[in-house]
Chain A
Amino acid sequence: MADGNTESITLQGIELPYMRRGSGQTLLMLHGGGGPVAPMPFAARLMERFDVIAPIHPGFAGTRIPDHFDDIHDLKFLYLDFIDALDIRDAVLMGFSMGGWTAAELAVMTTARFSRLVLVDSVGVKPGDRDTRDVADVFALHPAELLKITWHDTAKAPNPAEMDEDALAAMAGNRIALALYTFDPYMHNPKLPGRLHRIDIPTLLIWGESDGLVTPEYGAAFRDMIPGARLAVIPEAGHAPQAEQPEAFLSEFLAFAT
């Protein structure tokens, strides 16, 4: 955590680490259940054009889950404090997967500090009926099966067998934190669809065409819930298009955000 790029701020008694690099318009980036995305190559490219702020959700990357944290709403209120504390203005808000859900929850509270919203393979809603499993049950899938539906090309996925102990423990910790935020109701807030009309800033959803965890059809249903939103589907990418197809991802993002 304590590399040169990471600072931290104490909010609600929580020491929240975040990376801030680059200059230009502010881009607040909320990572998904896999953990921080800021170290990925696509993010370095974004730092050439944006003032990138990438906090680490409590519980991820070896950090502690605060005792009072129970669900995504605790995260939402932490970030409401965070954007106030850093006096973030006119920012692009981008969230990946459960970070996308968090971004949507923030946006329905207030868009005052944001000019654009980007949701990447995001969870948070439940378009289907009660018998439909809209989001694959990541906690109930065999690890090999989970890998298969998450990646278009599993060769690009991180391999636990090659990780050192700290990285593995952080990955296991990420999974616990992901569960805390998403376990029940699973990966969605039943109230969110009734609130998404409040989003009054341009919104883009970016989706990996091969995402088997949350499918492009789910993405289309999510898009239809947000006024004026557009969906861009990226071929040959799974749940993490920013990792599998960074060029295509960046071109969609930059065309929208700049």
Chain B
Amino acid sequence: MKTWFFTEDAYPYLPDPDTYESIRVNLPNKHYDPDIGADLYHRYLDMWTAADEIGLEIMLNEHHQTATCVVPAAPLMLSILARETKRARLLILGNPIGNRNTPVRVAEEMAMVDVLSRGRLECGFVRGVPYESAPANVIAFRGTERLWEAHDLIMKAWTHHEGPFNFEGRFYHMRQVNIWPRPYQQPHPPVWVTIGSAGSGVQVSKHKHVGAVFLAGYNGIRTIFDGYRSGYREAHGSEAPLDRLAYCALIHVGENESRAREGAEKILWYMTSNKVAAQWNNPPGYHPPHVAAMIMKGTRGGAGVPLNPQLDDQMARGNVFAGTPDKVFEQIKAFWEYSGGFGHLLMMGQAGFLSYGDTLSSMQLFNDEVYPRLRELTESYDPDRMAYLRNSLPDVEATSLGDLGFAFVR
């Protein structure tokens, strides 16, 4: 099991939420103080470099026009880390290539980072959450189709070495593609794609890319992973290796139960802060009509995460792993077995006001006391035993998903 330290790089110093409509898209940037922002950038970079030193891998992402993630250009952060870190794998999850209509530029940036880091890049591609449509000024309709065509173009740009090639597709039209540099890793850096439903997993599995699931919890994880696994089986005639699946949860490890809870409550800021106006949740073409209709009717919120999460509830759902090292290991092991197994744990280990010190302390405890046991767990992975476990653990009763009902692909 590889564990990836992840923070969204939030700017949490905001006015009372009652004074603004939405933290996404239209929150005026007068609320952003560049002095504080500079401190935050350096603090987050310090956290990632600490992860490198502690022994964890590194993950970062990007969003636009939001205080929840002040990294609108993840490749910039990534390039700094390519230079400042020594050991860790560098996962960008990911490049929103359905919205960012410059696939060749993405291929070039990623090749640069791969070379700079001497082959430590892991490159993710995402469709992005619904509230990315307005900032990109790109219609969400056919976002998945655009993502896959851009993916094909990027893969070809990475792996074609005999001079310019032609690519005139449904969405992208390039006639002289010949990127310099080419990637360090051959034939190309490992590729990740976020998945949020059984169907989206199938397509990712055909390419043998890593399928990463965010906060699907007990309610969703089996369906999504099963979609990937069956797609993999069908496409390749063998079982999907563990390292083809990843799960992202909010994680905080404390030296005792009360410190752990205190830290976990702070990380819940990721959910509580996500006040999103209805119009940004439901851009035309993101959701299929019947889901969009439910949002329009107001029977379901669309923010993707609940605004008033309770820690115990989120832990029971499998969205948060928190506690002493023993407890956190038990929680992850239980979820791992229930899910059928995965090889990557994406650790959202910092959000909101969780301090640098508490973040590092949690990382260190995780690395020293949880990580070795997780490695043992995955090393002892036995498909037959997993099948037995799987059958002895019934599906979690489909409870109301509340605001967590949407298969967002972050």
Contacting residue for A143 out of B25, B138, B278, CB 8 A: B278
Complex Cα–Cα for A175 and B292 (A): 9
Given known contacts A184-B137, A184-B139, A139 and B292 CB-to-CB distance under 8 angstroms: no
Contacting residue for A168 out of B278, B287, B296, CB 8 A: B296
Are A176 and B290 closer than 8 Å at their CB atoms? no
What string of 1s and 0s marks CB contacts (under 8 Å) between B279-315 and chain A?
A: 1100111010110111011100000000000000000
Q: Tell me whether A42 is interfacial, beta carbon within 8 Å.
A: no
Are B277 and A171 closer than 8 Å at their CB atoms? no
- Nearest neighbor of A178 in chain B, beta-carbon distance: B284
Contacting residue for A169 out of B137, B284, B289, CB 8 A: B289
Are B134 and A140 closer than 8 Å at their CB atoms? yes
- Work out how many contacts link A and B, with CB atoms closer than 8 A: 65
Band of interface residues on A: 20 to 34
Shortest distance between the CB of A21 and any CB in chain B (Å): 28
Shortest distance between the CB of A211 and any CB in chain B (Å): 20
Number of B positions contacting A (CB below 8 A): 23
Complex Cα–Cα for A49 and B353 (A): 69
Are B284 and A179 closer than 8 Å at their CB atoms? yes
Which residues of A105-143 have CB atoms within 8 Å of chain B's CB atoms? 139-143
Q: Tell me whether A4 is interfacial, beta carbon within 8 Å.
A: no
Q: Tell me whether B21 is interfacial, beta carbon within 8 Å.
A: yes
- Nearest neighbor of B292 in chain A, beta-carbon distance: A172
Complex Cα–Cα for A143 and B298 (A): 10
Complex Cα–Cα for A173 and B139 (A): 14
Q: Tell me whether B41 is interfacial, beta carbon within 8 Å.
A: no
Are A142 and B278 closer than 8 Å at their CB atoms? yes
Which residues on B are within 8 Å of A, measured CB to CB? 21, 25, 134, 137-139, 141, 277-280, 283-285, 287, 289-290, 292-294, 296-298
19 new A-B contacts at CB < 8 Å, known A143-B278, A176-B284: A139-B134, A139-B279, A139-B283, A143-B279, A143-B296, A160-B297, A169-B289, A171-B293, A172-B290, A173-B289, A175-B284, A175-B292, A178-B284, A179-B283, A180-B284, A183-B139, A183-B284, A184-B137, A184-B139
Closest 3 CB pairs of A and B: A179-B284, A172-B292, A168-B293
